[in-house]
Structure 1
Amino acid sequence: MLVAVNYIKTPSVERLVKLWAERYKPDMSSLSSGKDDTSFYGELIKAVSPEGRALTATKLHNRLVTIKCQMAGIQTNALYSYIPNIVDLSEANRLTNFALMVYMKLLEIYQQPSPTAAEEKTLISTAATTSSEVSFPSWQMLSIEAWGMPGIQEIAEAIEPILLEFQQEHILSKDWRTLGFITTLLNFSNKLLILSQKLTPQEQLLIYPYFRFIEEQVALPWQRVCIAAAKYQVDSPTFKLVEQLFPVSQDIAQTVYSQLIQLLPNHRSRRGELTDPGVTHSCLRDLEMFQAYLWLCLLEDNMAPIELELVDLCLMVLPGVKVKWEMIELCNKLLAEEIIARLTPSQRNLIQPYTDGLQQAFLKQRDRFALPNENTKNAKSTSTANQNSSIRQQQSIGKNPKTTGLTHGLSTMDGEIERLTKKMEELDRELAQTKEQLNKRRNQFGISQ
């Protein structure tokens, strides 16, 4: 949950903000070693320049982003359509428009010159000439400002009014599921936009951190964790524990997730198996969200963020996408064990009340997390048989009004996706024509590309 906070500059806050910003550096490790270094890095230097950023933003113009968000909205609506009254069509369209506003603001921020703009080209050029294909040591040392990004706090403050306006609306509706909807919508939109054929690999590398930031900012309270550190000295045991584990949250999430795959090989939610790319992305993000809430509770010395926010959010979303209780329970257990294993005995004493509290908070709501078929396990056999019969009837396509309606809805969505795909093809043709005209003008005036 996003909460408006006053940014307080203290040494402890500044140190956590720096770690928070590290999450959004362009990921050079994802590059293929088969790339032509000279050519690739040359194009990267162009893409990171103000002119290159403006060109990237031009490619992601309003019409294209609108279509991509609409397509993501259709996918999200299809995923959540089985949940009664989660969002109606008009609400889904409103949320899609909200996503469009977010991306337009991000693209505006993307084009803003960094405070260190004069140093960017030198820093990037130096990194390009000293990096090896194996380790990229120079790239890893660059700050996000050196990559042309504003400070992470500046990005958060610029986007905060839009996010708070959206959040206030779904709080007034008293339906936390819309937060799950918008997180999924942004996830799908990010994927569609970043894989757009209009973006070069260099542009994808540079724009993705902004997309990742907005998806995380909606649900992960990293900013609140940073601000909560204000009352701590940098040498306090509590602060040092958070500072130690903050930068390894992704590694902790990956370790726990790998264990989940081994222990629950047959687990399947509505989004697919644990090894499906979309499920992997969501699970890793959620495991980091759980860690962020743990650090927030520890720094605030209060379990309320977990008990009143995290559990409620999970209750609204997880049973609906058919995530079983055994998965939730095991996830919390493995996460607690992995965190404890990385700490000294004295540090364990600090965090254990909170890892135990996390598990207890979910355990208290176990019955509400249980899926319908799990709730009927102890029912009488005749009642169970009747319920199973009813379920089978509902699953029989064409025999149940709700199922018929869902089938019709999915058919309509397929038609909408086809329509939007045709729009994208038209845009591609328009862009190709524009590029051709631009190249002709460049040649006419002797401008190198």
Structure 2
Amino acid sequence: MGRSDVANKILRHLNRASALGWSLTEALLADEIPRHGIAPELVDPWEISAEVHRLYTQVFQAYADGETPQRLSVLLGAEFGRVRQKYTTTDPRVIGFVSMQFHYTGQQLLERLSTPEQGLVSPYLKVMDDHLYMPLRDTYEAAATHDLDSPSLIAVQHLLPVSTAIAKSVCDLVIRFYPDYKTYSGSLRSPQVKTSSIRDVEMFQVYLCLCVLEDSIRSFQQQLFPLCVMLYPQLNVQWELVQDMLKVLRWEMYDRLDSKAVQIFLPHLLALTEMFSPEVFQNSLPDVGRGLEKG
């Protein structure tokens, strides 16, 4: 089956997959809107579903045209960034609804494909997922403000190329620590959960890079932490698991980066680890909501 056939097969099922995707997103997160004090008008199911539907259509039109996953970032990166910015500007937690809608819609579409077809399109879904879930555009813009010999920029340039390898190693070690752990979506060992776990560790590293480039933990405080406070309990991701992930991430960074880069990242990584401590989390739910309302 050629690219056009696979793309047409996906696009034929996109409407139904999108509807089922929102049903699953709503089942997971609907109660979080009042619980976290999120303004209901910010979570418009029709608008979010339409945005994700449109992005999927653009991605698989590019796939049918023979574009590579790497080229997809160039072609649609600005559009991905626009959607992410739209849903993080007022309340960064809303991007969680967009990301879950993307995730569940993608799962529905993959179920319609053969295993070889899934292997062909999965890299395209990862590009889309990365741009929606991670602050890539903010990181690129922050990097552009630095001189080429900036120690912070050099450290980021060392980390990003190995961030996926680091994420895979971190997840492998965490699975060894928690061999019987089950999340909302299944065992940590399951391919679906492992893919999501790797993506999350990559996300933490991108936020770490952004904070280093901005010399501020603002993005941790205003974006990453509130999003995790909303999503992780619903996904049955315990705070101790996140703490151990951050500990292993620190080990991997020591192992793969030179000492200068590690010293640049370490203060921000320690601040992130402290932010995700169980003591902070126990009192975080109402405080996060109040802080965002004030901001």
Q: Shorter-chain-normalised TM-score: which range?
A: 0.7 to 0.9
State the distance in 2 between where 1:75 and 1:283 align.
19
Q: Secondary structure at the match of 1:318?
A: helix
Q: 1:272 to 1:200 in 2, by over 3 A?
A: closer
State the distance in 2 between where 1:159 and 1:305 align.
19
The amino acid of 2:104's aligned partner reads F
Partner residue of 2:60?
Answer: 107
State the distance in 2 between where 1:151 and 1:234 align.
26
Partner residue of 1:73?
Answer: 22
Matches within 5 A, 1:54-73: 55-61=5-11, 63-73=12-22
Question: Whose Rg is larger?
Answer: 1
- Structure 2 length as normaliser, TM-score? 0.80
| C-alpha contact (below 8 Å) 1:73/1:93 kept by paired residues | no
Matches within 5 A, 1:2-17: none
State the distance in 2 between where 1:102 and 1:183 align.
12
Matches within 5 A, 1:19-418: 47=2, 52-53=3-4, 55-61=5-11, 63-80=12-29, 83=32, 85=34, 91-111=44-64, 144=68, 150=71, 152-165=73-86, 167=87, 172=90, 174=91, 176=93, 178-197=94-113, 201=116, 204-363=118-277, 365-368=280-283
State the distance in 2 between where 1:338 and 1:66 align.
42
State the distance in 1 between where 2:80 and 2:258 align.
38
State the distance in 1 between where 2:233 and 2:104 align.
20
Q: Quote the offset at 1:208 in angstroms.
A: 3.1
Q: Quote the offset at 1:82 in angstroms.
A: 6.1
State the distance in 2 between where 1:153 and 1:99 align.
18
Q: Quote the offset at 1:94 in angstroms.
A: 4.6
Q: 1:300 to 1:69 in 2, by over 3 A?
A: same
| C-alpha contact (below 8 Å) 1:293/1:310 kept by paired residues | yes
| C-alpha contact (below 8 Å) 1:102/1:162 kept by paired residues | no
State the distance in 2 between where 1:107 and 1:338 align.
35
Q: 1:161 to 1:236 in 2, by over 3 A?
A: closer
What's the RMSD between the two structures over aligned residues? 3.1
| C-alpha contact (below 8 Å) 2:163/2:205 kept by paired residues | yes
| C-alpha contact (below 8 Å) 1:297/1:305 kept by paired residues | yes
| C-alpha contact (below 8 Å) 2:17/2:105 kept by paired residues | yes
The alignment-based identity, stated in percent, is: 25
Q: Quote the offset at 1:325 in angstroms.
A: 1.9
Unaligned runs of 5+ in 2: 286-295
Q: Quote the offset at 1:158 in angstroms.
A: 3.6
| C-alpha contact (below 8 Å) 2:18/2:53 kept by paired residues | yes
Q: 1:195 to 1:256 in 2, by over 3 A?
A: same
Q: 1:292 to 1:107 in 2, by over 3 A?
A: same
| C-alpha contact (below 8 Å) 1:79/1:270 kept by paired residues | no
Per-residue CA deviation, residues 15-37 of structure 1 (Å, 9 max, x unaligned), is xxxxxxxxxxxxxxxxxxxxxxx
State the distance in 2 between where 1:150 and 1:262 align.
36
